[in-house]
Structure 1
Amino acid sequence: MKQFLIALLRRVLLAFKILSRVVLFVLPVPLLMVYVNYHVDCSGLFQGDVLLRTAAQQLIDGENLLNFSQMDERALLKLVAQNLTEETEPEVLAIGSSRVLSLHAATAGSSSFYNAGMTGADSRDVMTSYYLFAREGHVPDTVIFCVDPWLLYSGADSYDHRSDPELYAEFLQQALGMESDYEAPDPVQTWKALIDPAYFQGNVAYWMRNRGSQVAYTEDGEATPFTPVADSALYDQNVVVKLSDGSVIYDKPFRDTSVEDATILALTQASSFDSVNMEGFTELSDEAITLFGRFVAYMQQQGSRVALLMTPFHPTTYDTVFYQYETEGQHTGFFQVEEWLREFAAANNLEIYGSYNPHTLELEPADFFDGFHVRDTSIEKFFPGV
């Protein structure tokens, strides 16, 4: 019996040795597959869109990029926030619509600055832009909050179709503690790609194709349009440049628009003023006011100093809209916003700069690109920096 037990033990030990060697040989293969599929991720399942991921890292690394108009701004901002480090996180963050995108680091008064403005940003975009940084642990010391009038309106036409309602629902639930219909997505199907041999093969081929290349390519071989541009050539481009600080330099033809042509454009934009997130904006929304207050309080609770900024409209746009307000009673909601904002700032001890009224700021038509966007060289006339 004793000899039988000894023989059995020897067989068990031998089987264990064989099994352990097999495991040591086989285990690195699935681990390597998981590592490559997650980190290379040519389809952007885990790391985000390949081209935008590359662009985000280039911005973080201090590169200025061509072809801003081809970027998915919302997806890009998410990737920038996710890939920041403690060394690269901004101390000053600007949030708002395209009406703040011309605010550069030099004008903001900080070398540690990122402009998170987005074209057509509605209230959901603005709130989630700050939340993306806070969620990743990159809370800015100071927030320059460019408040567009439509942020105080909650009608159906105050929202932009490009905003992310799921991210906004998450923000309401996780940041403000409000009820929402947000449900965390089931990750099972996505995570299955980690052990997919076919995806592994595609990722290896993608890595081989991009190894040592100065140009990023998608899994389909598409070259990135977001190529770096030297500082000396920033103002010579015929496309919009996305600066490494998140702000933009508009294309040369747009910047060279004459005062007369910009005024004509401003008049045209005034005729469709309400269509810019303000259709039916007859009075301030109680719901929007409540959310605005809670959002500002949330940023302060995170430790951010909040400065409010109102960027002006072109004199022709403003005067036309004001005439329609006085004679026809239009745009009543718009003309209630600034007074309310100043009262809110005073009640909450917040700094507030600028005005929607260009005459208050002594601005001329030459200070504007068009009816909605003040020139970057004119922002310092009403914003002293942080």
Structure 2
Amino acid sequence: MSMQSSSAPLNLLSGDPTAATQPARRRSAWRLGALFVGVAALVFGSIGTVNYRYNPLTYDGDQQQAVAATLAGGGNVAIADPNIDWRTLRSKHLSQMKETPDVILFGGSRWQEASAAVAPNKRFYNAFVTNDFFEDIVALTGQLYTTGHLPKTLILSVRFFSFDYLDRHDQLWWTLTSPEYKQMSERLGIPAHSWTDSVPVSQYSHLLSADSALKSLQRGSVEEAGWRPTTAVSDPQMNIIGSDGALRFSEAHLKTLTPEGVEKDALETAAQHRTARIHIKRELVGQLGTLIGFLKKQGVQVVLVQTPFHPAYFKAIQGTPYYDDIRQVEADTRSVAAASGALVGGGFDSLALGCTAADYRDFNHASDHCLTQVLRSIPGLN
């Protein structure tokens, strides 16, 4: 019996020699996994913190609210970097706006410099955002309607990519106002993109971007990346957002823009676009007409307008399918305007609208002078 009792433990160990080490290995694997998760959380947390603090007008709702309150109170705001979340800022500004402007202009950054000078003797607001699409027009209309700020005149910019397909959109920005877009689409009775296509995933991936964090650190201190109220309309180093919504670039930035450099950008961009095509989703053209019909019922005069290109760019793309696509967008815009009773103006040819190469920052961003020329050429607008 003594031999049997002493052999049982020996048989157990010899039958499975790894049994005693398996719990230790599992504990080691768990520790390694926890260490990996901890390091990853620390790295991404640090990246997110840098991006959040250095980009307060992209990620910090309280800071956006404070800027909107300053603008709504009639003040201007100085900012270091104009690459901010303009959509959220517009939404917060509209919700605090005390008076409804007579004229509201909406478009992409091509309109960023259009100031109150385009509509003298009228209350004017420039609601431009970055990289606009048709969905943004729908979202803004919804915001104006729900906040009670539909103006007497609403100028809507139709750009060459306005009617593009969803898979060609820059996901980083347009989805930020997807709730307003979906709500207004339902009000208009037009189909909206699915929930999965409308989630602002790119905003969170951008927040955790190491490249973005590095660029933020290189720009300077957190204080320099922030904003401040101001009464000035220009600044040597800071960009100014006016209470009219327009952007005034810093003197330092404007000094970097030479005529030679701007024309080089125009020609290089034209070379890229000569082999490209614009894909127009025909349904969106009809939906624009539906939206205009809704606005007309609310007593709003709608103006459809396009901004012209740098003359060197416009000349360089002629004779290409891309040029034909641009002309098709222009023709579609005029067709929608004629059918819906909207005013129409502008165009892609700068020389026909009185703009010159001296008016441009790059191939398609014009100065306030040119934009004023474009709007003042629209019959019945002034």
> Could you tell me the TM-score, scaled by structure 2's length?
0.69
Q: Distance in 2 between matches of 1:241 and 1:70?
A: 13
1:236 maps to: 235
1:116 and 2:127 correspond: yes
Once the two structures are superposed, the pairs formed by residues 146-225 of structure 1 within 5 Å of their partners are: 146-164=157-175, 165-176=178-189, 178=191, 181=194, 225=226
Deviations 1:319-345 (A, max 9, x none): 22224x1xxx34542221112222332
Deviations 1:215-241 (A, max 9, x none): xxxxxx98992212223xx33332321
Deviations 1:132-158 (A, max 9, x none): 121112211110112112113335214
1:296 and 2:297 correspond: no
The one of 85, 91, 96 equivalent to 1:83 is: 96
Secondary structure of the residue that 1:152 maps to in structure 2?
coil
Deviations 1:256-289 (A, max 9, x none): 32222211122233234489xxx6424x322111
| Structure 1 residues 357 and 174: CA distance shift in structure 2, 3 A | same
| Structure 1 residues 289 and 354: CA distance shift in structure 2, 3 A | same
Once the two structures are superposed, the pairs formed by residues 309-324 of structure 1 within 5 Å of their partners are: 309-323=305-319
Q: Distance in 2 between matches of 1:237 and 1:151?
A: 34
The one of 50, 57, 66 equivalent to 2:62 is: 50
Query: What is the one-letter code of the residue matched to 2:316?
Result: T
Secondary structure of the residue that 1:162 maps to in structure 2?
helix
Extract unaligned runs of 5+ from structure 2. 1-59, 197-221
| Structure 1 residues 222 and 370: CA distance shift in structure 2, 3 A | closer
Number of positions where the alignment pairs a residue of Structure 1 with one of Structure 2 = 291
Offset at 1:372? 0.9
Q: Distance in 1 between matches of 2:323 and 2:95?
A: 39
Query: What is the one-letter code of the residue matched to 2:247?
Result: V
Secondary structure of the residue that 1:145 maps to in structure 2?
strand
Offset at 1:176? 3.7
The one of 96, 116, 139 equivalent to 2:150 is: 139
1:102 maps to: 113
Q: Is the 8 A contact 2:239 2:247 kept in 1?
A: yes
Extract unaligned runs of 5+ from structure 1. 1-47, 184-220
| Structure 1 residues 223 and 379: CA distance shift in structure 2, 3 A | closer
1:24 maps to: none
Secondary structure of the residue that 2:332 maps to in structure 1?
helix
| Structure 1 residues 74 and 292: CA distance shift in structure 2, 3 A | same
Secondary structure of the residue that 1:281 maps to in structure 2?
coil
Q: Is the 8 A contact 1:51 1:224 kept in 2?
A: no
Query: What is the one-letter code of the residue matched to 1:349?
Result: G
Offset at 1:181? 4.8
Q: Which moved more, 1:55-64 or 1:262-271?
A: 262-271
Q: Distance in 1 between matches of 2:252 and 2:171?
A: 27
1:226 and 2:227 correspond: yes
Q: Distance in 1 between matches of 2:194 and 2:237?
A: 44
Offset at 1:91? 2.1
Offset at 1:127? 2.0
Deviations 1:173-221 (A, max 9, x none): 13446566569xxxxxxxxxxxxxxxxxxxxxxxxxxxxxxxxxxxxx9
Offset at 1:94? 0.6
| Structure 1 residues 103 and 330: CA distance shift in structure 2, 3 A | closer
| Structure 1 residues 340 and 226: CA distance shift in structure 2, 3 A | same
Secondary structure of the residue that 1:340 maps to in structure 2?
helix
Once the two structures are superposed, the pairs formed by residues 264-275 of structure 1 within 5 Å of their partners are: 264-273=264-273
1:65 and 2:77 correspond: yes
Q: Is the 8 A contact 1:98 1:118 kept in 2?
A: yes
Q: Distance in 1 between matches of 2:224 and 2:111?
A: 30
The one of 325, 329, 343 equivalent to 1:333 is: 325
Query: What is the one-letter code of the residue matched to 2:350?
Result: P
Offset at 1:119? 1.2
Q: Is the 8 A contact 2:285 2:336 kept in 1?
A: no
1:356 maps to: 348
Q: Distance in 1 between matches of 2:362 and 2:185?
A: 35
